[in-house]
Amino acid sequence: MTQRYGIIGWPLGHTLSPTLHNSGFKTLGIDAEYVAWPLEPLGLSDFMARFRDEEIQGLSVTIPHKRSVMKYLDEMTFRAKSVGAVNTVFWKDDLVWGENTDVNGLIDPLAKMRNVPKTALVLGAGGAARAAVVGLQELEVGEIIVCNRTRSKAEILGHDFNVRVVDWEKRHELAPGLILNTTPLGMSGELETLSPWEADFPRGCVVYDIVYNPLRTRLLAEAREKGCEIIEGIEMFLHQGLAQFRLWTGREYDAQAARRVLLEALS
């Protein structure tokens, strides 16, 4: 029987997840399909009952369900508990588990570098920033600083993860080895011409923007022009998805092949 997977979110605009997973199933000859399930918040309880009854094999979870889905699970991984949010639901030993592969998405591209930066500045303090801090701590980045427009939200991260908080207005006084943007600044639309970093880049600094539409944000274009190593947001999307694929199928979908499929879909 064809196995079923999908993504829940609301509003669920265009998502690249079906493209990624269906191409993986096809490439690896797995009899499965992945669909988009737009799901209003009030429908979550019924949907999770259906997930169990119909033995749906796995779910990607996006806004606004990443926290609310937690109460419908049997178990959560240490990572998901640390972040306090779930983006992946899977079955293990007849139990429904929650995982957070945004952490993989954030750190896998960094872990592959010859020299992982020793200090990091995380711009933003939302859901992606929490996953980033958990991931950077896993990577044993020595100093992590969080900086957010609304300081009180950064302070919650500072308290939860024991990291330093700096005022948004003072971010340019820092000289981190990694600048990681988790705000929507630079995203296509009204924010596209904006950048979260308006000063010179520290020498040897790696610049990572998790915004992937456009692929080359203003932040990344300027960083590249100044000779910084850059990581595009599509890498986060790719690696969070590949980690989901691995959890659900036990199989490895080749990153280069998957990247090609995503880039083609984006163009």
Residue 109 touching ligand NAP (CB under 6 A): no
Residue 124 touching ligand NAP (CB under 6 A): yes
Beta carbon nearer to ligand NAP, 210 or 258: 210
Beta carbon nearer to ligand NAP, 48 or 147: 147
Residue 158 touching ligand NAP (CB under 6 A): no
Residue 150 touching ligand NAP (CB under 6 A): yes
Residue 67 touching ligand NAP (CB under 6 A): no
Residue 163 touching ligand NAP (CB under 6 A): no
Beta carbon nearer to ligand NAP, 2 or 193: 193
Q: What is the 3-state secondary structure (H, E, C) of the chain?
A: CCEEEEEEECCCCCCCHHHHHHHHHHHHCCCEEEEEEECCHHHHHHHHHHHHHCCCCEEEECCCCCCHHHHHCCEECHHHHHHCCCCEEEEECCEEEEECCHHHHHHHHHHCCCCCCCEEEEECCCHHHHHHHHHHHHCCCCEEEEECCCHHHHHHHHHHHCCEECCHHHHHHCCCCEEEECCCCCCCCCCCCCCCCCCCCCCCCEEEECCCCCCCCHHHHHHHHCCCEEECHHHHHHHHHHHHHHHHHCCCCCHHHHHHHHHHHHC
Residue 166 touching ligand NAP (CB under 6 A): no
| Minimum distance, C-beta of residue 151 to ligand NAP, in the bound complex (Å) | 9
Catalytic one among 66, 92, 153, 170?
66
Q: Which of 19, 60, 77, 182 binds ligand NAP (CB under 6 A)?
A: 182
What is the footprint of ligand NAP within residues 40-59 (CB under 6 A)? none
Residue 245 touching ligand NAP (CB under 6 A): no
Active site residue 112: no
What is the footprint of ligand NAP within residues 191-230 (CB under 6 A)? 210-212
Footprint on this chain of ligand NAP (rule: CB under 6 A): 105, 124-129, 148-150, 153, 182-185, 187, 210-212, 233, 236-237, 240
